[in-house]
Amino acid sequence: MKEGGVTMEVGNDAVAILTISNPPVNVLSAAIFDRLKELLTEAMGRDDVKAVVLIGNGGKFSGGFDVNIFERAQKAGDISIIPDVSVELFVNVIEDAKKPVVAALEGPVLGGALELAMSCHARIAATKTQLCLPELILGVIPGSGGTTRLPRLIGLPKALEMLLLSRSITSEEGNKLGLVDAVVPSEELLKVSRQWALDITVRRKPWIRSLHRTDKLGSLFEAFTVIKKAKQQVKLTAKNMPQHQACLDVIEEGVIYGGYHGILKELKVFRELVFQETSKGLVHSFLSQRATTKLPIVNDIGRKPRPVKKVAVIGGGLMGSGIATALILGDISVLLKEINSEYLLKGIKTVEANIRGLELTDDKAEKALMRLKGVVDYSEFKYVDMAIEAVNENIALKQKIFADTERACPPHCILASNTSTIDLNIVGEKTKSKDRIVGAHFFSPAHIMPLLEIVRTEKTSSQVVLDLMTVAKTIHKVPIVVENCTGFAVNRTFFPYSQSAHLLVNLGIDVFRIDRLIGNFGFPIGPFQLQDLAGYGVAVATTKQFSLSYPDRTFESPLLNLLIQNGRNGKCNGKGYYVYEKGSKPKPDSSVLPVIEESRRLTNVMPGGKPISVTDEEIVKMILFPVVNEACRVLDDGIVIRASDLDVASILGMSFPSYRGGVIFWADTIGADHVYTSLEKWSKLYGNFFRPSKFLEERAKRGIPLSAPVSMPSRARASL
Ligand SMILES: C[C@H](O)CC(=O)SCCNC(=O)CCNC(=O)[C@H](O)C(C)(C)COP(=O)(O)OP(=O)(O)OC[C@H]1O[C@@H](n2cnc3c(N)ncnc32)[C@H](O)[C@@H]1OP(=O)(O)O
């Protein structure tokens, strides 16, 4: 079958089976909808057809609308690119059809696919089918009846939970709620669906048009109460995102004025939302995350990943135990190595606490923990497929561990480091197997943060990179593959984030104002609270590394050392910029202000000795434009393959707000020229730290977006 096809087969029982096929997950394109409409119309007109069953090919109903279509429409500013099926196909052809249409569901039934299924007269599902309306994740609302039919089928409270949280449910839960009429084993799906469709024709089963139902909506008063409460909640939980409020407004209108009115209103709002910046950012983020594994040479020449079944993690501290947790949860056996039994016990207890914190079923938690074994020497390393070093950022220690690991492991074993900053060539200097050395940079907490930065040197083999990318997928992380340099892609790009925050404080800006503004921008916490959380030791160590590699743009702030001297270590001892007390939120600590004053006195960077006066908007830009500037250098140096990888890294690794599309996407919405001229101005006022990079200057002057491909990275230019 050609891509984007639908076939029709009419059986002896007079049931027409329409099969949607668009591998791998049968996403719905304009061509599929056209063909579906054509075949449904034909089936309705044929005398030998009594009823219709819709099914997806290969045990998957459908992953919903093809999200690429959204991006194409957004770029072209043309709504007609997105198939308009809500009224003509879903209401007129399917729901109001003269013959019953039954949806046979299996695998993913997401977004527009669930909307399609809800417009049918019954839904039969295989066990463990996944039902979800994830549209809000893309910055829109369902555009084909989802906001109207779902509440009518399962009631408002549950529908709001599924819609506002993009919560996925199984067919079993769907059956209890009334979304699914019957759950059957996969092998019986088609048989039961056919019979169900025939039963509808003779009224043995009800013929239900969900748009016309009101029985599950409750009274108007009840409906208003539920919606009002949800509106108050999303004001707090979905700041800066219009789609949640819009979704509730549309549902409300459907409840007041009826299902058909709801459908029309939904379509109108969907079409407005899809062109808003939020949706553009979220669609970009969705597609960029799926593009990170498309790597020339590594996975486009039929290379196959080798199985990685057993991994040694060296170091049972916060990072090591987090990595071990992520691996055992992904069905990979782990040897956790520490230097003595006391540290080992601590590490194992941390893994256990991590697992407990995830609230898994007892069985799942126990199975995961059975995959963990603690060791204090290298004797069992001869059985591992990969070793990940996760000790503190001490070069000599890392070099020794790498040399010992190389001796103890089998020759195929991948030798990975979780260093966040140090050049991998230095880490692996004392080993012979340079082709097996790779960076596996996890983000803290490693069992929760979804990013894995895979760092390759000039010598790392493509096989090793592919193996690690596959491990990432197994443990549900998004991998980005980057080249080797101090800080790699993520920490290097975001080093100026805390640097500029420190520079601003030393220029006289209040720390808590900065944290508040960065929070309003969409980061979960500001740079100072983040530093409190991570502990100052990490920041001091990375600043040392960065100042060696990038001395021209490192701001040496004495503030962290002053805080440490004053007995403040951040959250770990309850005292940092904020006060941390058990059971209450962190509170700004005014007793930190004299320490900050001391730092200002020592750096003496305030022009004329007076705090600078800048607007809130400018503060956010002064913190984030230096990040964009470094991202430009990272692109220019060819550290990442494509700009969108930096967008993914900034969202998944640094919690940059996903609805802003990532650091480069956001900068392009502002314009390279504005970023450049702002940095140029600040560099004249406040020094070299802000000096725009050559790459940024060139793109700004030539009017080229920062996301446009780099024709030749600077390191390639240098080798000419
Ligand atoms: C108007 C309507 O209301 C609007 C809508 O329908 S919006 C669309 C809603 N749908 C979604 O958001 C679905 C998102 N997709 C997913 O959650 C998952 O991909 C899935 C559960 C369907 C399958 O997961 P899994 O089996 O792990 O496979 P996964 O690797 O993610 O996907 C397989 C391929 O399909 C692609 N894909 C999946 N869903 C897609 C979609 N909706 N659009 C475009 N591509 C999609 C993936 O990018 C991937 O491509 P690749 O092979 O080139 O890497």
Active site residues: 115, 135
Ligand 1 atom nearest to CA at 65: 6
- 0.80 cut: is pTM over it? yes
* Same structural domain, 480 and 495: no
User: What mean pLDDT is predicted for residues 527-541?
Assistant: 90
* Same structural domain, 516 and 471: no
Residue 613: exposure state from Cβ atoms within 10 A (0-12, 13-18, ≥19): exposed
Of 20, 66, 67, best ligand 1 pocket probe by most atoms within 8 Å of the beta carbon? 67
Distance 87 CA to ligand 1 centre (A): 24
**Res. 3: pLDDT tops 50:** no
Residue 90 φ then ψ, to 5°: -75, -40
Instruction: Find out whether 219 and 201 touch, Cβ atoms under 8 Å.
Output: no
User: What mean pLDDT is predicted for residues 614-637?
Assistant: 98
Select from 239, 269, 299 the last residue of a domain.
269
Q: What is the pLDDT of residue 183?
A: 98
User: What mean pLDDT is predicted for residues 205-234?
Assistant: 95
Q: What is the pLDDT of residue 718?
A: 62
| Three state DSSP letters for 352-389 | HHHHHHCCCCHHHHHHHHHCEEEECCCHHHHHCCEEEE
Amino acid at site 334: V
Rounded distance between C-alpha atoms, residue 664 and residue 80, angstroms: 28
Query: At 368, is the pLDDT very low, low, confident or very high (cuts 50, 70, 90)?
Result: very high
* Same structural domain, 142 and 178: yes
Residue 13: exposure state from Cβ atoms within 10 A (0-12, 13-18, ≥19): exposed
Ligand 1 atom nearest to CA at 294: 54
Per the model's pLDDT, the better-predicted residue between 714 and 132 turns out to be 132
**Res. 52: pLDDT tops 80:** yes
Residue 412 φ then ψ, to 5°: -90, -5
Q: Cβ contacts of residue 166 below 8 Å, gap of 6+?
A: 132, 133, 134, 135, 136, 137
Distance 475 CA to ligand 1 centre (A): 18
CATH number at residue 673: 1.10.1040.50
* Same structural domain, 28 and 130: yes
Ligand 1 atom nearest to CA at 82: 1
Q: Look at residue 669 and tell me if it is in a domain.
A: yes
Q: Look at residue 22 and tell me if it is in a domain.
A: yes
Select from 484, 518, 533 the last residue of a domain.
484
How many domains does one find in the chain?
3
* Same structural domain, 180 and 239: yes
Q: What is the pLDDT of residue 295?
A: 83
Task: Write out the two tokens for 1.
Answer: 């079958």
* Same structural domain, 497 and 435: no
pLDDT tens-digit readout, 354-365: 999 998 898 999
Q: Look at residue 584 and tell me if it is in a domain.
A: no
* Same structural domain, 206 and 325: no
Among 81-95, 455-469, 702-716, which is the least confidently predicted range?
702-716
Q: What is the pLDDT of residue 300?
A: 62
pLDDT tens-digit readout, 58-103: 999 999 999 999 999 999 999 999 999 999 999 999 999 999 999 9
Of 20, 21, 25, 644, best ligand 1 pocket probe by most atoms within 8 Å of the beta carbon? 25
Distance 66 CA to ligand 1 centre (A): 7
Return the residue matching tokens 């030749």: 712
User: What mean pLDDT is predicted for residues 185-194?
Assistant: 98
Q: Look at residue 580 and tell me if it is in a domain.
A: no
**Res. 525: pLDDT tops 60:** yes
Q: Whose CA is nearest to atom 49 of ligand 1?
A: 290
Distance 73 CA to ligand 1 centre (A): 18
Amino acid at site 400: K
Q: Look at residue 591 and tell me if it is in a domain.
A: no
Measuring from each residue's beta carbon to the nearest atom of ligand 1, which residues come in under 6 Å?
A: 24-25, 27, 63-68, 108, 110-112, 115, 134-135, 138, 142-144, 146, 290
Of 66, 289, 290, 644, best ligand 1 pocket probe by most atoms within 8 Å of the beta carbon? 290
Q: What is the pLDDT of residue 298?
A: 64
Task: Write out the two tokens for 395.
Answer: 């070069």
**CB crowding 403-437: b at 16 or more within 10 Å, else e:** ebbbebbeeebbbbbbbbbbbbeebbeebebbebb
Q: Whose CA is nearest to atom 31 of ligand 1?
A: 290
Cis-peptide into 24, omega within 30 deg: yes
User: What mean pLDDT is predicted for residues 268-275?
Assistant: 98
User: What mean pLDDT is predicted for residues 575-604?
Assistant: 95
Distance of CA 511 to the CA centre of its chain: 29
Closest CA to 166 of 139, 140, 136, 130: 136
Rounded distance between C-alpha atoms, residue 716 and residue 719, angstroms: 5
Helices marked H in 13-137: 30-45, 67-76, 112-119
**Res. 205: pLDDT tops 90:** yes
Q: Look at residue 559 and tell me if it is in a domain.
A: no
* Same structural domain, 86 and 170: yes
The edge-to-edge listing of strands for the beta sheet with 15-21 is 5-10, 15-21, 51-56, 101-105, 122-126, 182-184
Query: At 283, is the pLDDT very low, low, confident or very high (cuts 50, 70, 90)?
Result: very high
**Res. 280: pLDDT tops 70:** yes
Q: Look at residue 661 and tell me if it is in a domain.
A: yes
> For strand 333-337 and strand 169-170, is the pairing parallel, antiparallel, or unpaired?
unpaired
Q: Look at residue 620 and tell me if it is in a domain.
A: yes
**Res. 1: pLDDT tops 50:** no
Q: Which residues are registered as beta bridge partners of 109?
A: 62, 131
Select from 220, 243, 269 the last residue of a domain.
269
Rounded distance between C-alpha atoms, residue 141 and residue 139, angstroms: 7
Query: At 2, is the pLDDT very low, low, confident or very high (cuts 50, 70, 90)?
Result: very low
CATH number at residue 247: 3.90.226.10
**Res. 379: pLDDT tops 60:** yes
Distance 63 CA to ligand 1 centre (A): 5
Task: Write out the two tokens for 668.
Answer: 């392009």
* Same structural domain, 338 and 219: no
* Same structural domain, 617 and 477: no
Q: What is the pLDDT of residue 207?
A: 97
Residue 621 φ then ψ, to 5°: -70, -40
Q: What is the pLDDT of residue 42?
A: 97
Rounded distance between C-alpha atoms, residue 329 and residue 336, angstroms: 14
* Same structural domain, 242 and 113: yes
Task: Please state, rounded to an integer, the average pLDDT across all residues of the chain.
Answer: 95
Q: In this structure, how many other beta carbons lie within 10 angstroms of the beta carbon of residue 506?
A: 23
Q: What is the pLDDT of residue 297?
A: 67
Distance 274 CA to ligand 1 centre (A): 18
Q: What percent of the chain has pLDDT over 70?
A: 98
Ligand 1 atom nearest to CA at 270: 1
Look up the domain containing 612 and give its range: 491-552+605-715
Among 3-7, 183-187, 269-273, 378-382, which is the least confidently predicted range?
3-7
Helices marked H in 558-615: 559-565, 593-603
Ligand 1 atom nearest to CA at 113: 6
Task: Write out the two tokens for 46.
Answer: 């044929």
Q: In this structure, how many other beta carbons lie within 10 angstroms of the beta carbon of residue 7?
A: 13
* Same structural domain, 202 and 326: no
CATH number at residue 381: 3.40.50.720
User: What mean pLDDT is predicted for residues 497-502?
Assistant: 96
Distance 25 CA to ligand 1 centre (A): 7
